[in-house]
Amino acid sequence: MLILNDLFVYSPEVARALQEGRPVVALESTIISHGMPYPQNIQTATEVEEVVSQQGAVPATIAIIGGKPCIGLTREQLEHIAKAGPAVRKVSRRDLPLVIAKGLDGATTVSATMLLAARSGINVFVTGGIGGVHRGGESTMDISADLTELARTPVAVICAGAKSVLDIPRTLEFLETHGVTVTAYQTDEFPAFFTRSSGCKAPCRSDSPLEVACMMHASQQFQLASGMVVAVPIPSEAEAEGQVVEMAIQRALQEAEQNRISGSAVTPFLLERIRALSEGKSLDANIKLIKNNARIGAHVAVVFSNLLS
Ligand code: PSU
Ligand code: MN
């Protein structure tokens, strides 16, 4: 039985679900603060939570409020992160000690959300896209902490792959080296977030939530202690917008280089420029794919929890 400890603040719904062994789905908060503008961010965050609930799982949006990792946010907390936007610190694994020790607020990235999810007893996490090896990463060494977290934290991350702002082939190589299971959902190709195709073959394919849940179970039984990427391609009907977005991506990459953007500012800069250059089309596609991921991820969580009971 899971012991809920006072390192975390659990929402009552999440605490009850975890104690009763019911499925819980973690959701990140950087996507709310740095990934989308207000008010679309709060609206999407709320709708994603509803999608998870409709599938019979309990949503647990994770953020740090006043130095406390919160597992499941109140409406006020969600509103606070959404309104503050990039004024809230973007927190990856390395930032956790500072934010906690100083009692600050923080929006958690994939790496920090995975870590906090695992420590609080949650094994399924839904988001839009994961970070990866940035283009030119072979010399800048700009490789997202999301990838190393996937190597050492046993959480399944349901996402739409990695954006083509990243170096997708190198991202997949890095994940292989670090022993991360990567499966594409109902496709043979690793998806590129806005587009269903990246030109890279996925290491394996899963055709149902049960197949994913069985791999999670095998990973757990053999104590691999590493995470899993479940890459779900953007729904075809949202992909048309994706083509327009590809043009914006190319421009955004040039601008980032011209403006010498570096470090943790790179991804938020690119996301915002892609949104502006595509006149909001990237945002529409983003919202659609996240909801699709939430539906499938919640389904995986339900099936996985049935396997265990
Ligand atoms: N990719 C997206 N949307 C996002 C992010 C990535 O399509 O919001 C966010 C996630 O929180 C991810 C983080 O964990 O950016 C990765 O940042 P970096 O590249 O600095 O590691
Ligand atoms: Mn980086």
Q: Closest Cα to atom 18, ligand 1: which residue?
A: 144
Q: In angstroms, what is the span from residue 144 Cα to ligand 2's centroid?
A: 5
Q: In angstroms, what is the span from residue 129 Cα to ligand 1's centroid?
A: 7
Residues with CB under 6 A from ligand 1: 28, 30-31, 34-35, 109-110, 128-129, 131, 144-146, 163, 193, 264, 266-267, 271
Q: In angstroms, what is the span from residue 285 Cα to ligand 1's centroid?
A: 16
CA 101 from chain center: how many Å?
A: 25
Active-site residue, 281 included: no
Q: Which atom of ligand 1 approaches the CA of 90 most closely?
A: 11
Determine which one of 49, 90, 149, 163 is catalytic. Answer: 163
Of all ligands present, the nearest one to the C-alpha of 141 is 2
Q: Considering only CA atoms, which of 35, 3, 243 is closest in space to residue 159? A: 35
What are the residue ranges in the chain where pLDDT is below 70?
Answer: 1-4, 240
Q: Which atom of ligand 1 approaches the CA of 131 most closely?
A: 16
Q: In angstroms, what is the span from residue 262 Cα to ligand 2's centroid?
A: 7
Q: Closest Cα to atom 21, ligand 1: which residue?
A: 144
Q: What's the confidence (pLDDT) of residue 3?
A: 58
Render the burial of 236-273: b for 16+ CB within 10 Å, e for the rest. Answer: eebbebbeebbebbeebbeebeeeebeebebbbbbbbb
> Model confidence over 23-36: pLDDT tens digits?
999 999 999 999 99
Q: What's the confidence (pLDDT) of residue 244?
A: 83
> Model confidence over 98-157: pLDDT tens digits?
999 999 999 999 999 999 999 999 999 999 999 999 999 999 999 999 999 999 999 999
Q: Closest Cα to atom 11, ligand 1: which residue?
A: 109
Q: Considering only CA atoms, which of 110, 109, 184, 170 is closest in space to residue 139? A: 170
* Rounded-to-integer distance, Cα 28 and Cα 108, Å: 6
Protein residues near ligand 2, an ion, with CB under 5 A: 142
- The residue whose CB lies within 8 Å of the most ligand 1 atoms, and thus the one to mutate among 90, 95, 109, is 109
Phi and psi torsions of 50, nearest 5°: -65, -40
* Rounded-to-integer distance, Cα 266 and Cα 261, Å: 6
ipTM rounded to 2 decimals:
0.98
Active-site residue, 163 included: yes
Q: Which atom of ligand 1 approaches the CA of 108 most closely?
A: 11
Q: Closest Cα to atom 2, ligand 1: which residue?
A: 129
Q: In angstroms, what is the span from residue 17 Cα to ligand 2's centroid?
A: 34
- Label each residue of the chain as H, E or C: CCCCCCCCEECHHHHHHHHCCCCEEEECCHHHHCCCCCCHHHHHHHHHHHHHHHCCCEEEEEEEECCEEEECCCHHHHHHHHHHHHHCEEECHHHHHHHHHCCCCEEECHHHHHHHHHHCCCCEEECCCCCCEECCHHHHCCECHHHHHHHHCCCEEEECECCCCECHHHHHHHHHHCCCEEEEECCCECCECCECCCCCECCEEECCHHHHHHHHHHHHHCCCCCCEEEECCCCHHHHHHHHHHHHHHHHHHHHHHHCCCCHHHHHHHHHHHHHHHCCCHHHHHHHHHHHHHHHHHHHHHHHHHHHHC
Q: What's the confidence (pLDDT) of residue 1?
A: 42
Tokens 């529409």 identify what position? 284
